[in-house]
């Protein structure tokens, strides 16, 4: 068994890591931190985890033991930069944005602060297995991309790599469930604010924009420019990204679908279909559902992707990366089938 520590286990992504690790054949959670909830039994904070962790109590992260096989960090942006240098673990996987961008100049622009550990950026592999698997084999440090970036990148990247759409003028219009905003209470995520409401936020300057451009461009081998508009939807989980691009040729819908299907033919967690993706179909799974259309009337290509923001968009993808890093079956502990209804 691999000894696992989770820093930030009191948050939604951290709790999802604990849930998935409880069903993992080789991962044993021996440490869980949640500084804001230190001293609280896991089963008290999350009754859904009580049966799996009957004696586990959340601790301050500083009490983490050394020599762990895998440490997951599920904290808000900025926290991991100071924690990573102090950790003694064989494999560290950061679910935050601290080590995703390789260009240090982007952090002040998009995150409002200088990066405090720029010397560590090159140590982190970008954790999107379907596109960058080779970098993850045996990796000791992994920066796991978030839900919006994962959805948009997997939906668009194969089309750009095949040269079927223009790399500039891309539009990503995506909606997220409320859990994507984290567990901490905020005025805009209360029941009264979210119920029967649908709103956009982060207009023109959402911090995940450069990460999408970096990931898509790296896979496609070209510079990418896109406009990203996120929305908050009145649901617990899920990401639905509708992406627009200008075609470079006259490929039909059927031909575009064939390219996407070929790109993901060997990927057990990606479903390419003519069916329109839905968040409900991915609930609780590590799967991504993707489709594409060519609109002859307007000339646009429309590609749509859906996933569970807490699984493939966070904890599930982190475990998928960890499996690759430690030499296990990539799909260990992860479900490809969603829950329904």
Which residues belong to the active site?
147
Nearest Cα neighbor of 21 from 89, 83, 80, 70 is 70
Q: Would you state the structure tokens that stand for residue 3, as one six-digit string?
A: 């000894």
Neighbours of 300 (CB within 10 A): 15
Peptide bond preceding 46 in cis form (omega within 30 of 0): no
- The whole-angstrom distance between residue 79's C-alpha and the CA centroid of its chain comes to 18
Q: Would you state the structure tokens that stand for residue 43, as one six-digit string?
A: 């089963």
Nearest Cα neighbor of 129 from 302, 332, 292, 283 is 332
Sheet holding 89-94: strands in order across?
27-33, 2-7, 68-73, 89-94, 141-143, 125-126
Q: How far apart are CA 249 and CA 337, in angstroms?
A: 35
């Amino acid at each position: 068994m691999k000894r696992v520590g989770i820093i930030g286990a009191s948050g939604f992504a951290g709790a999802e890591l604990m849930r998935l690790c409880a069903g993992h054949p080789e991962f044993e959670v021996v440490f869980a931190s949640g500084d804001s909830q230190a001293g609280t039994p896991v089963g008290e904070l999350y009754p859904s985890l009580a049966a799996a962790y009957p004696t586990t109590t959340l601790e301050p992260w500083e009490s983490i033991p050394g020599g762990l096989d895998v440490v997951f960090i599920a904290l808000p942006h900025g926290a991991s930069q100071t924690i990573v240098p102090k950790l003694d673990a064989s494999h560290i996987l950061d679910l935050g944005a601290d080590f995703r961008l390789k260009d240090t100049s982007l952090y002040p622009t998009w995150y409002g602060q200088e990066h405090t550990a720029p010397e560590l950026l090159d140590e982190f592999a970008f954790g999107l297995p379907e596109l960058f698997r080779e970098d993850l084999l045996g990796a000791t440090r992994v920066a796991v991309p978030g839900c919006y970036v994962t959805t948009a990148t997997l939906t668009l990247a194969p089309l750009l790599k095949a040269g079927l759409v223009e790399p500039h003028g891309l539009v990503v219009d995506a909606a997220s469930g409320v859990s994507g905003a984290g567990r901490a209470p905020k005025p805009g995520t209360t029941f009264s604010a979210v119920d029967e409401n649908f709103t956009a936020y982060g207009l023109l300057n959402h911090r995940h924009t450069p990460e999408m451009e970096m990931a898509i461009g790296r896979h496609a081998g070209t510079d990418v420019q896109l406009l990203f508009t996120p929305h908050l939807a009145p649901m617990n989980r899920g990401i639905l990204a509708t992406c627009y691009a200008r075609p470079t040729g006259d490929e039909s819908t059927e031909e575009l679908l064939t390219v996407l299907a070929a790109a993901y033919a060997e990927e057990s967690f990606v479903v390419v279909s003519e069916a329109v993706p839905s968040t409900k179909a991915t609930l609780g799974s590590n799967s991504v559902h993707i489709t594409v259309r060519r609109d002859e009337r307007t000339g646009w290509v429309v590609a749509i992707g859906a996933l569970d923001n807490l699984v493939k968009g966070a904890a599930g993808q982190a475990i998928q990366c960890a499996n690759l890093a430690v030499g296990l079956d990539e799909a260990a502990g992860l479900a490809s089938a969603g829950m329904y209804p």
